[in-house]
Structure 1
Amino acid sequence: MSEEVQGEGRKQPRSDFDAKAFLKTVPEKPGVYRMIGADEKVLYVGKAKNLKRRVSNYFQRTQPSPRIAMMVSQILRVDVTPTRSEAEALILENNLIKQLSPRYNILFRDDKSYPYICLTGDTFPRLAYHRGAFARGARYFGPFPNAGAVRESIHLLQKTFRLRTCENSVFQNRSRPCLLHQIKRCTAPCVNLITEDDYAQDVRLAARFLDGRASEVIDDITTRMNQAAERLAFEEAAACRDQVRVLQAVLHRQFVDSRKDEDVDIVVAVEDAGLVCVNIAMVRGGRHLGDRPQFPSTAAGLGALDALLAFVEQHYRDHPMPARLLVNLPVAPVKALLAEVSDKPCAVIGARHATEKAWLEMAEGNARIAVQARLRDTGRIESRLEALRESLDLPEAPGRIECFDISHTMGEATVASCVVCERGAMKKSEYRRYNITGITPGDDYAAMRQVLERRYGKVAAGEGVCPDLILIDGGKGQVGAARETLGEIGLESVAMIGVAKGEGRKAGLESLVAADGQTVTRLPADHPALHLIQEIRDEAHRFAITGHRARRAKARVGSRLEDIPGVGATRRRKLIETFGGLDGVREATVDDLCRVDGISEQLAQRIHRHFR
């Protein structure tokens, strides 16, 4: 079906697909393309600003990597879907990748979670830590490699420019300055201790500093200091002097490697012991902000160059392009890719002088450290799974473990959680919560039966994934209810075990209850299998109680005195004083309520019904 042809630098497999004839039909529009292989299997899904130009790159005489060449050799058909815009193409591509899980798509799932610094669009803008979608009217600076870099920068900006960080709800209701003003971290615009114009000037300086123009900021503050000194405004001049000293100290510390106000991203890919890691380090305004290693979630025939190209494509779709991009692999493929991804120019370079070589060496070293840590974790996970297999006498180590827990407060707002551990790692994207209804409040057995029916009823019908092991947070009663439910569904063959709390609920004293409800196993406190079970159980408990508290709070918001017609401020105060709080009012009878001055029998009945 295929033959080997000699390219300019690499032997390249070629399929029987007639690329020339196909490319004549591809429009020069934005859209999505799908590479189809044998048995109609989707090999790859991609997005392009120009479909014709992008798809034709795959059918050149040479390919940048053996992985791409191998994929091209398997192509039997290419489907294209033109869209009206590149944004539509991006949405469609994401949906198709989630739906089809193509073999050759490389995903970096953590790449979209970089934090930013935000300056809000308020009259007195707030300095804030931000993750997620951008809001109109605000300014965002970043991305930063981690939360620590953001908080350090915010702390520096507070010391230097004294911008507010409080929420609007606090800002709008203050009557006197807060502690931050007293320790000279805020100019207290909440109580008008600074004019709007002066505050706006501080905001402009902070924005210029975040844009990497620190030298200009120092020059401006120095000018203000001299002008204040000439006017004999020595306190103002001293404040400006302190700002300059802080900034110069930061620049002295951060400019050890860089003497310029520059924005550079350093992206390196290393391959070690069969693992590939892409590490991105960020320099903003000459300040090295740290780095962040990434591991691809799919790695079919993956090499370092493939991983680097995939990361660059995904990262710079969603994050600003720096002035320079420093890479440790061939520059030409990265340049060609960025031309497709972004219209903003970016200089892609290799290390040219000592500073850039030092940045690359540091990024590569940290990537290798991350690989070694991942390998150690992998070995630890495998040993724990094998210990679990031996302890429970399973035919093989469980690849997917699901754990269930029930949370409520005396039967109120019952919530069940299901957390997933896959190959020893928690898979948060597949966690689920279930609001339990229609049972006797406090009946944990009925709650367990309901959540298992809802979770595994679909599995029995052929939908969803069946786990290799089910953990139940509970003792013999919960395990018995679970066993009956799974038997009714038809999944009694799935391995299941209960995790009963030990004496005093102390960690390490747990008992493992088998599905028969009779066999109880106690593992040593330092046993690796018990540690894995504890981690999964604790995560299920955390996830359940978080959901329960949210549901309970939402339910109680609807049970406030303010929501009852006829109960104004005066009557509310008397009710609270009489019964000692809202809980006392909730538990009061109609006769009790009638004894409060101003509460008629009709109103008492209305209040009583409201809380029930």
Structure 2
Amino acid sequence: MKETIQNLPDSPGVYQYFDKTGKLLYVGKAKSLKNRVKSYWRFTPLFRPNPDQSSRILMMLSEAQKVEYIIVESEEDALILENSLIKQLKPKFNILLRDDKTYPYIYIDESVDYPRFEITRKVVKGKEITYYGPFPTGGRALLDAIYEVYPLVQKKSCLKEGKVCLFYQIKKCLGPCEGKITPEEYAKIIGEVKSSITKRKKLLNVLGDKMTNLAINERFEEAAKMRDMIQSISTLTLTSNIDIADRVDLDIFAIKNGDERGVIVKLFMREGKVISSSHSYFRHTHIYDENEAYKQALLEFYGVDVPHVSKQILTAHPFEDAEQVEHTLSKRFGQRIEIITPQRGPKKKLIELALQNCDELLRKPKEKNIIEQKVADLLDLSTIPYRIETFDNSHMMGAATVGGMVVWDEGIWDKSSYRRYELHAKDEYGQMKELLSRRIEKFAEEPAPDLWILDGGQANLNLAKKLLHEAGVNLDVIAIAKEKLDAKAHRAKGSSKDLLYTDGGVIELKPTDERLHWIQRQRDEAHRYAITYHQNKKRKEDIQVSFLNQKGIGKATLKKLIDYFGTFDSIQNASLEELTRVTNEKIAKIILNQKEEQ
């Protein structure tokens, strides 16, 4: 390692420290790899860590046995690569913030005569697009409220019909499709809506009156929906009397690391008023670094597809890489972006408001994730498992082999992140290897979670650890399986217990243990998801087999085809030449004719 450090190039890049087992400890970026990495060390009289470094870095260096580096063209490239590798590989001594959500915005395209307000999470093409937001929560409720209160074009398809519909009859639309309102008159209503998106008092008052009338008329279900809409919109904004006279747009970030957990608070000011806010927790860590926290939070939030970025970003604390992040974001969005920490005036009050909310959120008892903390303690995990991916595969005598991955995130099932995999390996070990390998390939786009749970025993645990080590990813893994009785698992008979396979050995818990119930719940959801996919696929394949049997293709020929092509879909997509090579021209034509009939 000493020799590598002494021969580093004077170039921008990213460096990585590893321990003696090859586990990734730390990822950093540098304008000059030579100067930056050398600054960690003293070379005389002995090669040793530089005592001027922080306690976090000294702890990391005490474990470091190897350093590797990647040269890039610029410091900006190094910054982006560093952030990407931290997300993807989860190094032990880098902090990892878990706030990678893309918030929705409300937008309107005024290039048409009768525009509508829509929701988006990405940039929408158009010259006359206006964005409002972001809305971390309540954005959909706010949009629904707009269409409840204002007589706008209610559906995209309305104008295409060319005649008024039910919405006109119930006075939720003014009939632009028949020219019953001019574009100029419609534009006045649009102006009112724009105002109500940021100044929501009038909107909430109208909704309150509607809710009361519905309740008086005993339409309680509709009144309850209106009540929920009001509550969602009301929670959008922190209570704040701070207004800035020049109607400026500002994004405000405050990050604090508490005794038990850390928190990020974001405030979004538009036209001089705070219109929305959000917060997220991250695990407490003794390796907390303020510079890394702000750098990661800003780079993650302002992704390439963010619809709107304020020209001025306020941070509660100054941080070392602010100038470089500022330059990177300015280049990314093609406009000058400032990152400042105000010391006085109304902007300073916004920072104080954000920090007050940090303190309040850190004081709040943990309502969620208590069981996750208990599981982390039980399994000696490196992090509290807020986000978990659980894997299972399913087949019947080697047919319709599939895998499923389910995702638990902050106390709920994240069904949009569930994934199904069609597997081709013949044995269960090979199938699990294929399943996990395909997930690892996606870590760059969809970062690793806090924990993997596998359906299976020690062999699957060892497999996962091997694959993760080869990929250089730090990720906790456990497996859960029935104990073997007479070399059988007796899954359905209840005569055997679930065992947990961990780095520290096998753990057996009482059947009543809530921690075991939580892990079983993850496993059972993965099994349900995989088996449903398997059953659907098996049903489809059975229909195909039956059809081919009727056409005179026997079991031996079908086996030959499956062995060669792997799946029925591959057989159906094969050419006449490929099919003839495996069987003969007659059978090939039968299969191709079946494809045409379907």
TM-score scaled to structure 2, two decimals?
0.53
2:372 maps to what in 1?
381
Q: CA deviation at 1:278?
A: 1.6
2:342 maps to what in 1?
350
Which of 92, 111, 118 is the aligned partner of 2:100? 111
Q: Is 1:258 matched with 2:252?
A: no
Which letter maps to 2:279?
A: P
Which of 526, 533, 540 is the aligned partner of 2:526? 540
Aligned length: 449
For 2:341 and 2:142, locate their aligned partners in 1 and report how far apart those are by CA, in whole Å.
Answer: 27
Which of 412, 420, 424 is the aligned partner of 1:433? 420
Q: Is 1:127 matched with 2:127?
A: no
For 2:325 and 2:285, locate their aligned partners in 1 and report how far apart those are by CA, in whole Å.
Answer: 20
Which of 251, 263, 278 is the aligned partner of 1:277? 263
1:419 maps to what in 2?
406
Q: Does the 8 Å CA contact 1:415/1:435 hold for their aligned counterparts?
A: yes
Q: Is 1:144 matched with 2:134?
A: yes
Q: Is 1:44 matched with 2:30?
A: no
Q: Deviations over 1:477-533 (max 9, x none)?
A: xxxxx99x98xx999xx964479xxxxxxxxxxxxx756966156999985246414
1:34 maps to what in 2?
14
Q: 1:103 to 1:267 in 2, by over 3 A?
A: same
Q: Does the 8 Å CA contact 2:403/2:422 hold for their aligned counterparts?
A: yes
SS of alignment partner, residue 336 of structure 2: coil
1:445 maps to what in 2?
none
Q: CA deviation at 1:172?
A: 2.4
For 2:378 and 2:25, locate their aligned partners in 1 and report how far apart those are by CA, in whole Å.
Answer: 38
Which letter maps to 1:532?
A: W
Q: 1:97 to 1:497 in 2, by over 3 A?
A: closer
Q: Does the 8 Å CA contact 2:174/2:180 hold for their aligned counterparts?
A: yes
Q: Does the 8 Å CA contact 1:331/1:349 hold for their aligned counterparts?
A: no
Q: Does the 8 Å CA contact 2:407/2:417 hold for their aligned counterparts?
A: yes
Q: Deviations over 1:396-416 (max 9, x none)?
A: x9x9884537699xxx99965
For 2:537 and 2:270, locate their aligned partners in 1 and report how far apart those are by CA, in whole Å.
Answer: 42
2:71 maps to what in 1?
80
Q: Deviations over 1:321-341 (max 9, x none)?
A: 435444332478646642453
Q: Deviations over 1:525-582 (max 9, x none)?
A: 9852464146425643775599689989999xxxxxxxxxxxxxxxxxxxxxxxxxxx
For 2:531 and 2:183, locate their aligned partners in 1 and report how far apart those are by CA, in whole Å.
Answer: 45
2:495 maps to what in 1?
519
Q: Does the 8 Å CA contact 1:324/1:349 hold for their aligned counterparts?
A: no
Q: Does the 8 Å CA contact 1:400/1:423 hold for their aligned counterparts?
A: no
Q: CA deviation at 1:152?
A: 4.8
For 1:96 and 1:388, locate their aligned partners in 2 and report how far apart those are by CA, in whole Å.
Answer: 26
Q: Deviations over 1:147-190 (max 9, x none)?
A: 30x2354356446764435234x5524742343x5565544434
Q: Does the 8 Å CA contact 1:254/1:286 hold for their aligned counterparts?
A: no
Which of 156, 161, 164 is the aligned partner of 1:167? 156
Which letter maps to 2:274?
A: H
1:302 maps to what in 2?
288
Q: Does the 8 Å CA contact 2:265/2:278 hold for their aligned counterparts?
A: yes
Which of 170, 173, 180 is the aligned partner of 1:193? 180
Q: Does the 8 Å CA contact 1:328/1:351 hold for their aligned counterparts?
A: no
SS of alignment partner, residue 99 of structure 2: helix
Q: 1:524 to 1:68 in 2, by over 3 A?
A: closer
Q: 1:367 to 1:52 in 2, by over 3 A?
A: same
Q: Does the 8 Å CA contact 1:34/1:43 hold for their aligned counterparts?
A: no
Q: 1:326 to 1:459 in 2, by over 3 A?
A: closer
For 2:255 and 2:301, locate their aligned partners in 1 and report how far apart those are by CA, in whole Å.
Answer: 14
Q: Does the 8 Å CA contact 2:90/2:96 hold for their aligned counterparts?
A: no
Q: 1:263 to 1:137 in 2, by over 3 A?
A: closer
Q: 1:349 to 1:304 in 2, by over 3 A?
A: closer
Q: 1:554 to 1:265 in 2, by over 3 A?
A: farther
For 1:490 and 1:90, locate their aligned partners in 2 and report how far apart those are by CA, in whole Å.
Answer: 30
Which of 280, 293, 317 is the aligned partner of 1:329? 317
SS of alignment partner, residue 293 of structure 2: helix
Q: Deviations over 1:582-603 (max 9, x none)?
A: xxxxxxxxxxxxxxxxxxxxxx
1:454 maps to what in 2?
431
Q: Does the 8 Å CA contact 2:299/2:325 hold for their aligned counterparts?
A: yes
SS of alignment partner, residue 288 of structure 1: strand
Q: CA deviation at 1:308?
A: 2.6
For 1:90 and 1:323, locate their aligned partners in 2 and report how far apart those are by CA, in whole Å.
Answer: 20
Q: Does the 8 Å CA contact 1:117/1:142 hold for their aligned counterparts?
A: yes
For 1:551 and 1:157, locate their aligned partners in 2 and report how far apart those are by CA, in whole Å.
Answer: 43
Q: CA deviation at 1:72?
A: 11
Q: 1:334 to 1:531 in 2, by over 3 A?
A: same
Q: 1:316 to 1:116 in 2, by over 3 A?
A: same
Which of 157, 165, 168 is the aligned partner of 1:177? 165
Q: CA deviation at 1:116?
A: 1.0
Q: 1:388 to 1:63 in 2, by over 3 A?
A: closer
SS of alignment partner, residue 111 of structure 1: coil
SS of alignment partner, residue 143 of structure 2: helix
For 2:175 and 2:537, locate their aligned partners in 1 and report how far apart those are by CA, in whole Å.
Answer: 37
Q: Does the 8 Å CA contact 2:250/2:311 hold for their aligned counterparts?
A: yes
2:469 maps to what in 1?
none
Q: Does the 8 Å CA contact 1:17/1:77 hold for their aligned counterparts?
A: no
Which of 274, 281, 302 is the aligned partner of 1:288? 274
SS of alignment partner, residue 273 of structure 1: coil
2:586 maps to what in 1?
none
For 2:125 and 2:15, locate their aligned partners in 1 and report how far apart those are by CA, in whole Å.
Answer: 36
Q: CA deviation at 1:310?
A: 2.8
Which letter maps to 2:432?
A: R
Gap regions ≥5 residues in structure 2: 41-49, 201-233, 442-447, 466-477, 484-488, 499-508, 542-592
Q: Does the 8 Å CA contact 1:403/1:420 hold for their aligned counterparts?
A: no
Q: Deviations over 1:420-468 (max 9, x none)?
A: 6799997989854134799xxxxxxxxxx9777522467799x999x98
Q: Does the 8 Å CA contact 2:95/2:287 hold for their aligned counterparts?
A: no
Which letter maps to 1:419?
A: V
Q: Deviations over 1:107-143 (max 9, x none)?
A: 4443341111122477333311112454456725244
Q: 1:131 to 1:63 in 2, by over 3 A?
A: farther
Sequence identity of aligned pairs in percent? Answer: 20
| Matched ranges for 1:85-96 at <5 A | 96=85
SS of alignment partner, residue 420 of structure 2: strand
Q: 1:541 to 1:16 in 2, by over 3 A?
A: closer
SS of alignment partner, residue 536 of structure 1: helix
For 1:423 and 1:256, locate their aligned partners in 2 and report how far apart those are by CA, in whole Å.
Answer: 32
For 2:285 and 2:594, locate their aligned partners in 1 and report how far apart those are by CA, in whole Å.
Answer: 62
Q: CA RMSD in A?
A: 6.4
Q: 1:289 to 1:314 in 2, by over 3 A?
A: same
Which letter maps to 2:181?
A: I
For 1:63 and 1:364, locate their aligned partners in 2 and report how far apart those are by CA, in whole Å.
Answer: 32
For 1:135 and 1:404, locate their aligned partners in 2 and report how far apart those are by CA, in whole Å.
Answer: 41
Q: Does the 8 Å CA contact 1:402/1:470 hold for their aligned counterparts?
A: yes
